[in-house]
Structure 1
């Protein structure tokens, strides 16, 4: 999966795709990925896909009531934000190299793969 926890993503499909301001301008909703569920291809994004959950009173929550919380959204409905342009971009992989152009090896003597935004060529991993 090309999305990791901590990435900033934009919603590109679904009911939470746009937010409209007072002037009527539509902009894409964005948020930070809180958790990734690779087995179901879903991600939990901060402030996106809010659902109401009816909670009965418990010892931890005396009042109970209706809580709003984020629900997971399918990974195909979000795109990583390009750090250079601030727009949604596709993700590619390349091998990490040092200043001399030699491959950087990881702990298991394999080259390290790094994600990059295809639009600008900017690296997504630090």
Structure 2
């Protein structure tokens, strides 16, 4: 089970985008994730008439390593570490302050 999943709100802890909040849009592999608005690069794209795609320069979101982000805790308004705990017979993610990830407060 992954500590960071698609749809989670995360905050970047290191690098050029430090302090930026964003939503995880996809997991690329075990270590890499795509975060909305983070690590955006310009990419030159050739036109493709088969799919009616114009050429030009487009913005593309590149993957970032999951070790460079922390899950955002809305209760404390900052990034926190996550552990796992068995609650009511289910394995759930729990912030280090004790609150369950995704629980409505």
2:32 aligned with 1:42:
yes
| Structure 1 residue 125 displacement after superposition | 4.0
Which structure 1 segments of 5+ residues have no match? 18-27, 98-103, 105-111
Q: TM (normalized to structure 2)? A: 0.88
> 1:82: which partner in 2?
73
SS of residue paired to 2:83? strand
Larger Rg: 1
2:61 aligned with 1:61:
no
SS of residue paired to 2:67? helix
Which structure 2 segments of 5+ residues have no match? none
After the TM superposition, list the runs of 4 or more consecutive aligned residues in structure 1 that deviate by more than 3 angstroms. none
How far apart are the structure 2 equivalents of 1:6 and 1:49?
17
Deviations 1:9-63 (A, max 9, x none): 000011111xxxxxxxxxx100000001333x0110000000111101112213x
Structure possessing the higher relative contact order (Cα contacts under 8 Å, 6 or more residues apart): 2
How far apart are the structure 1 equivalents of 2:9 and 2:61?
16
Q: Do the aligned partners of 1:51 and 1:71 also contact (CA within 8 Å) in 2? A: yes
